[in-house]
Amino acid sequence: MSETGRDEPYPPVTEHLDDPEAAAEEGRRKMEWALQHMPILTELRAEFESERPLDGQTVGMAMHVEAKTANLVELLAVGGADVAITGCNPLSTHDDVSAALDANDSVTSYAVRGVDDDDYYAAIESVIGHEPTITVDDGMDMVAAIHEEYPELIDSILGGCEETTTGVHRLRAMDDDGALEYPVFAVNDTPMKRLFDNVHGTGEASLATIAMTTNLSWAGKDVVVAGYGYCGKGVAGKAAGQNANVIVCEVDPRKALEAHMEGYDVMPMAEAAEVGDVFLTTTGNRDVITEEHFEKMGDGVLLANAGHFDVEINLEQLDEMAADRYEARDGVEAYEMDDGRRLNVLAEGRLVNLAAPIALGHPAEVMDQSFGVQAVCVRELVENDAEYDAGVYDVPDELDREVAEIKLDAEGVGFDGLSEEQREYMGSWQHGT
Ligand code: NAI
């Protein structure tokens, strides 16, 4: 019997689908479209194909299984790795893409959309059953499961890579407790990821998904953005660009001031609740919108979350307050209060740009950058594993720059370099006026 108490390991996606071949064909089409817009992965693919830097490695992944991620998976496979993957959110998997991946001889995909909690963790366990030598996570669930349930594997693991802010927070907390037993790159924190994926990706994809899911306009709406970090900044900027009036809620006084100086209204959620039409949480924290706020909201408000876990909007409290609850549209659940107000929750409060029924995740060009960093970090773990003890590591600057240069080259954008004199000047303290 497995650690999750099941008699049989959770099977690959093909065993869950009626027609896996047809699904795989559709998934392949989606992957090919995305790859056409991913010049970094395309360039790395040529390098990985000829040099096979990952020969003999097994990569275990828990990520949003959709077309862009699938191209990262195949890049790692082309580089010589065997890859086992599952989802990092029960609602973000595209089954057809998962099937296309599973049809690749070097890949096994366990990701299935809509799994319950038991199956979600059983699928992670199936990935771990491949005995990964490298892990690639989005949210840290794979690292946690290995440390808690399969510590005997840790000696043979070279290291891992973490994709998102919440995962990096969890890893740093684990490291502070002395509990993290292998090296992990904080891919999220590197400029080529965070300045683009979190800001532009989350901004564009969340707003597009909300508009498509509701068929409503942004123009003239009061849009409340909770959290003015990288993601919140992106959401606020894009919403303002669509003629919404943006209100920011923050707990960090410097971030609140930054939002104020950038021209947004800033106020506590208790006040914003009274005026907002749309509420979007991007904090990575829990209980950002709760009962006291629901009580003040007007009829018809939209509530959505773009943070990693579905804990930012307290749906248990909302459920308790509601007299009735029904599906208003695909991906929109209306909670009707005693006084007739309807509060509409999108994508079950899960990260809206990936979990709504029509969600496609971030644009391909953005994920090209994030996944380019992932790929070079996996390569680094194999090539230089002796340099990394257990702990959380920043992505080495030269790797981040390598990915930026590939992208600029693909875009045909030239940029300057430092002269020797400039380099020396920048590195010296012995100069003044
Ligand atoms: P960040 O750390 O840059 O920003 C979070 C901000 O929220 C901080 O400024 C913090 O002060 C603020 N905050 C915390 N608690 C708050 C509260 N109760 N009320 C108001 N503000 C509060 O983090 P980042 O990179 O913006 O990520 C935010 C979340 O989004 C994370 O969970 C991350 O994993 C997730 N994420 C989601 C993506 C998506 O595709 N939807 C993409 C990238 C990240």
Total number of domains in the chain: 2
Cα–Cα distance, 370 to 368 (Å, whole number)? 6
Does the structure show a pLDDT above 90 at 432?
no
pLDDT per position as a tens digit, 74-111: 999 999 999 999 999 999 999 999 999 999 999 999 99
Residue at which a domain ends, from 350, 385, 402: 350
Residue 7: pLDDT band (50, 70, 90) is confident
Answer whether 166 contacts ligand 1 (Cβ < 6 A).
yes
CATH number at residue 68: 3.40.50.1480
Cα–Cα distance, 411 to 40 (Å, whole number)? 10
Answer whether 317 contacts ligand 1 (Cβ < 6 A).
no
Question: Smallest Cα–Cα separation from 371: which of 45, 29, 130?
Answer: 45
- The reply to whether 41 and 140 lie within a common domain is yes
Average pLDDT over residues 316-338: 98
Answer whether 228 contacts ligand 1 (Cβ < 6 A).
yes
* The dihedral formed by the CA atoms of 132, 134, 140 and 141, expressed in degrees to the nearest 10: -10
Answer whether 306 contacts ligand 1 (Cβ < 6 A).
yes
- The reply to whether 47 and 17 lie within a common domain is yes
- The reply to whether 39 and 178 lie within a common domain is yes
Q: Which residues are annotated as a binding site for substrate?
A: 138, 163, 193, 197
Residue 4: pLDDT band (50, 70, 90) is low
> What pLDDT is stored for residue 3 in this prediction?
53
Q: Whose CA is nearest to atom 22 of ligand 1?
A: 227
CB 361 within 8 A of CB 354: yes
CATH number at residue 217: 3.40.50.720
Residue 5 belongs to some domain of the structure: no
pLDDT per position as a tens digit, 267-316: 999 999 999 999 999 999 999 999 999 999 999 999 999 999 999 999 99
Residue 347: pLDDT band (50, 70, 90) is very high
Out of 164, 166, 231, 269, mutate this one to test ligand 1's pocket (max ligand atoms within 8 Å of CB): namely 231
Model pTM?
Answer: 0.94
Q: How far is the CA of 197 from the centre of ligand 1 (A)?
A: 13
Answer whether 186 contacts ligand 1 (Cβ < 6 A).
no
List phi, psi (to 5°) of 341: -65, 140
Q: How far is the CA of 282 from the centre of ligand 1 (A)?
A: 4
Answer whether 203 contacts ligand 1 (Cβ < 6 A).
no
Residue 102 belongs to some domain of the structure: yes
Out of 282, 293, 360, mutate this one to test ligand 1's pocket (max ligand atoms within 8 Å of CB): namely 282
> What pLDDT is stored for residue 1 in this prediction?
42
Cα–Cα distance, 104 to 127 (Å, whole number)? 16
Q: How far is the CA of 383 from the centre of ligand 1 (A)?
A: 33
Average pLDDT over residues 367-377: 98
CB 364 within 8 A of CB 318: no
Answer whether 139 contacts ligand 1 (Cβ < 6 A).
no
List phi, psi (to 5°) of 207: -65, -40
> What pLDDT is stored for residue 5 in this prediction?
61
pLDDT per position as a tens digit, 27-59: 999 999 999 999 999 999 999 999 999 999 999
> What pLDDT is stored for residue 187 in this prediction?
98
Does the structure show a pLDDT above 70 at 2?
no
- The reply to whether 141 and 99 lie within a common domain is yes
